[in-house]
Amino acid sequence: MKELAPVFAVVIAMAAVPLLGVSNVTLNFLVVALIAALAGQGWNVLGGYGGQYSFGHAAFFGTGAYVTAVLQVRYGVNAWIAFALGIGGGALVGAVVGGLTFRSGLRGSYFALVTLAFAEVLRISASVAPITGGGVGTLVKLDLHVVALQFQSRAVFYWMILALVAVALIVTRLIERSRFGVWLIAVRENEDAAMALGVNTTAVKLAAMVISGAITAAAGCFYVQYFLFIDSGLAYGTWISIEALLTPIIGGVGTVFGPLLGALVVRGLGEGARMVTGGEAPGLDLVVYGCVLVLIIWFAPRGLIGAFTQLRSRVMGSAGIVETSRG
Amino acid sequence: MLSPSILVAAIVNGLLTGALYALVALGLTLIYGVLHIINFAHGALLTAAMFAAYFAYRWFGIDPYLAAVVLAPAFFVIGYALQRFIVGPTSHGDDRNMLLVTLGLAVVIENALLFVFRADTRTIDLSYALSGVDLGFAFLPLPRLIGFGVTFVVAFALWLILSATDIGHAIRAVAKEKLGAELVGIDVAHVYAVTFGLGTACVGIAACLLIPSYYVNPSAGNAFVLVAFTVVVLGGMGSVLGALIGGLAIGVVESFSSLFLGESLGQIGIFVLFIVVLLVRPNGLFGAQA
């Protein structure tokens, strides 16, 4: 339990925020940032710990969103069950995509490309298939009851996404401390060496992709319950894939809290850019994101958390500070 | 229902479109062959070049084909500078970082264009855009015929540069054996930047060939580059000949799948082919190295 203490501390502190009487606008900002954080936490398992940089995590986000929405709207499935099946759908997509790509030994640029292509195939399919509502999208009926997984109060939604983020944080932390986590990091650092030492690298990567897909899909499931609408661009758009990798890389790739920190920073910067320009500047927030991404890789390749640990060890004058992630 | 003339027309149209895909893919494959990364900023650079060609015509009345003479060297310089001063130093020699930096550049360029020019779609009207050659079963618009021809000229020029000049020899040396090239005194950072510049110059030319018959908006280049990824994979990453043949083949595939499946599903045909090729033969049809 001791290793989970930081996770509980952060989550409990964040859970107290709605009790401070913050406005609905602030809560909405936090909910959206936490959705991005959750999607990024999924990416971080595979990309941060496993070194497999996916450029198509929208495939999982969108599948989670569509499964949740379509099951409720077309088949009258209970929202809670639909939500769970949405997460399962993301895991399944992870298993299929991972099974195909890792078996073929695709790495690096090739892996990035093939994940991107899968997300695009799903996006185009969703934009024409009748079951997803095609170009019109799918609207979930407003029904503010706990049974329908919809809440009158923003605070309850906030606690719900926070709980999902907390589960993802715990899963990440447990992976980090497990034998599986060590294998995964070995694959990231030197896949051939890991293989030579007897690690079944294909199985390790596949397992990471399934977990990763399930977590990012959960973000999509929540998105639908919160906004009650989904279409192919919102679900499978390139921007979803970019943001899923942006948050962990800015926060600290391969660290437990990286995606959460990154999401708050990125969304905060975007909000700031919008406030400065009065919302009359399409694209400016994304210009800021892109610049931050390049600058982080340039000056702090281990993200904000990495930069902070480095700074701390320099201040304390010792090189022996334990690094939890990238060694 | 399907007469042979429709099929032939589909093939001819596919080849004409495919040539433009090939030209965009040439730049990508060259960069991949030497730097071993996919340049995700390729699409955004193409869009930027299309805007440049558009405004050259709108403001100064410069014919797009004439603008290519200026845009090619200009985009060479832009590409050179991007690699030399941003992508290279930023990535600390890590391929994964290089991918991310090019992605970051793509986001910045695309959205800076969106910020300045808004999402409006723009087109230009050339007096000769609608003229062309009528084959009876198919009408070949002049701009696309020119595009087809120029692609081959550019491919030939690239081949000449790579095989007959000193810098071309250096590029090939770095592509084959980076450390060895460095040891015999080749400035690898310079060669990387020249390669990136040549790839970007291809995009500058492609933009001039595209603008007479297509439209430009801040995300116009993406459609071509997603296809170009496929071309590059199909032709074998790093292979100039592969990009040329792959581009033509993809043009025909797209033309056929939109004939049989409809316009929006036509794109799916490309991506499915892309995934299948990646999974079954990741070295491509002409690629040598993994």
Spatial distance between the Cα atoms of B215 and B210, rounded to a whole number of angstroms: 8
Range of the domain at A43: 2-244
Tokens of A76: 């009258």
The rounded distance, in Å, linking the Cα atoms of A180 and A102 is 17
Interior/surface letters A192-213, b for 16+ CB within 10 angstroms, e for the rest: eebeeeebebeebbbbbbbbbb
Asked whether B67 and B205 are in contact (CB, 8 A), the reply is no
Which residue in this structure is represented by tokens 């334990």?
A: A322
Q: How far is B29 from B63, CA to CA, in rounded Å?
A: 28
Contact assignment for B91 to A289 by CB distance below 8 Å: no
> Which of chain A's residues have a Cβ under 8 Å away from the Cβ of B86?
294
Pick A287's closest partner by Cβ from B115, B118, B282.
B115
Between A104, A127, A283, which is nearest B114 by CB? A283
CA–centroid distance for A258 within its chain: 11
CB pairs under 8 A between A and B: 129
Closest-CA residue of B relative to A279 is: B115
pLDDT of residue A321: 45
Alpha helices in chain A (DSSP H): 5-15, 24-43, 58-75, 79-103, 108-128, 154-177, 179-189, 191-196, 201-227, 232-236, 238-251, 258-277, 284-299, 303-315
**pTM for this model (two decimals):** 0.88
8 Å CB contact of B100 and A245 = yes
Predicted confidence at residue A325, as pLDDT, reads 45
Report the C-alpha gap between B147 and B131 in whole angstroms. Answer: 14
Nearest Cα residue in chain A from B267? A124
pLDDT of residue A168: 97
DSSP state letter for B140: E
**Low-confidence residues in chain A, pLDDT < 70:** 279, 317-327
Shortest CB distance from A117 goes to which of B40, B101, B274?
Answer: B274
Domain covering B4-280 assigned CATH 1.10.3470 in the classification: yes
**Residue among B100, B118, B272 minimizing CB distance to A249:** B100
Instruction: Dihedral sign for Cα B154, A112, B225, B87, please.
Output: negative
3-state class (DSSP) for residue A51: coil
- Stretches where chain B sits below pLDDT 50 are 288-290
CA B70 to chain A, closest CA, distance in angstroms equals 27
Identify the bridge partners of residue B134 per DSSP, sorted by sequence position: B139
Q: What span, in angstroms and rounded, lies between the C-alpha atoms of A14 and A267?
A: 16
User: Which helix (H) or strand (E) element contains residue B52?
Assistant: helix B42-60
Domain boundaries, chain B: 4-280
Tell me if residue B36 falls in helix, strand or coil.
coil
A-chain CB neighbours of B85 within 8 Å are none
Q: Which two tokens stand for residue B123?
A: 């087109």
In b/e form, how buried is each residue of B85-98, taking b as 16+ CB within 10 angstroms? ebbbebbeeebbbb
Asked whether residue A274 is assigned to any structural domain, the reply reads: no
**Residue A275: what pLDDT?**
81
Instruction: Mark yes or no for CB contact A283/B37 under 8 Å.
Output: no
Residue A206 in domain = yes
B107 vs A124: CB contact, 8 Å cut-off?
A: no
Question: Taking the mean position of all CA atoms in its chain, how far away is CA B254?
Answer: 17
Q: Across the strands, what pairs with B216?
A: B122
Sign, CA torsion B128/B134/B137/B138: negative
**Quick count: other Cβ atoms within 10 Å of Cβ B99?**
22
Tell whether A208 is covered by a domain.
yes
Given this model, what pLDDT does residue B4 score? 79
Q: Is residue A202 part of a domain?
A: yes
- How far B44 CA sits from the closest chain A CA (Å)? 13
CB nearest A294 (choices: B104, B229, B278): B104
- Please report the pLDDT score of residue A7 as a whole number: 93
Q: Which of B36, B111, B274 is closest, CB to CB, to A287?
A: B111
The pLDDT, as a whole number, for residue B232 is: 84
Provide the pLDDT for residue B138.
73
Is A116 an 8 Å CB contact of chain B?
yes
d(CA A273, nearest CA chain B) in Å: 12
The confidence score (pLDDT) of residue A183 equals 95
Kindly report the CATH number assigned to the domain that includes residue A174: 1.10.3470
Q: What is the pLDDT of residue A214?
A: 98
Residue A320 maps to a domain = no
Supply the pLDDT for residue B125.
81
Helix, strand or coil, per DSSP, at residue B76? helix
Compute CA distances A320 → A3, A254, B226, B233, whole Å.
20, 20, 46, 45
* A297 part of a folded domain: no
pLDDT tens by residue, B22-61:
999 999 999 988 888 889 899 999 999 999 999 999 999 8
What's the rounded Cα separation, in Å, for the pair A192 and A190? 6
Hey, of A54, A96, A243, A294, which one would you mutate to test binding to chain B, going by the most B CBs within 10 A of its CB?
A294
Is A276 touching B (CB cutoff 8 A)? no
CB contact under 8 A, B38 and A120: no
A289/B115 Cβ within 8 A: no
Q: How high is the pLDDT of residue B266?
A: 67
Judge whether A217 and A46 are in contact, CB under 8 Å: no
Q: Could B36 and A109 be called an inter-chain contact, meaning their C-beta atoms sit closer than 8 Å?
A: yes
Q: What is the pLDDT of residue B139?
A: 78
With contacts defined as CB-CB under 8 Å, which chain B residues touch A284? Answer: 111, 115
Neighbour-count burial of A312, counting CB atoms closer than 10 A to its CB (0-12 exposed, 13-18 middle, 19+ buried): exposed
Total number of domains constituting chain A? 1
Contact between A287 and B265 using a beta-carbon 8 Å cutoff: no
What one-character DSSP code corresponds to residue A140? P
Asked if A284's CB is within 8 angstroms of B111's CB, the reply is yes
Chain A residue whose CA is closest to B109: A287
Task: Judge: A117–B275 Cβ closer than 8 Å, yes or no.
Answer: yes
In a 3-state reduction of DSSP, which class is residue A229?
strand
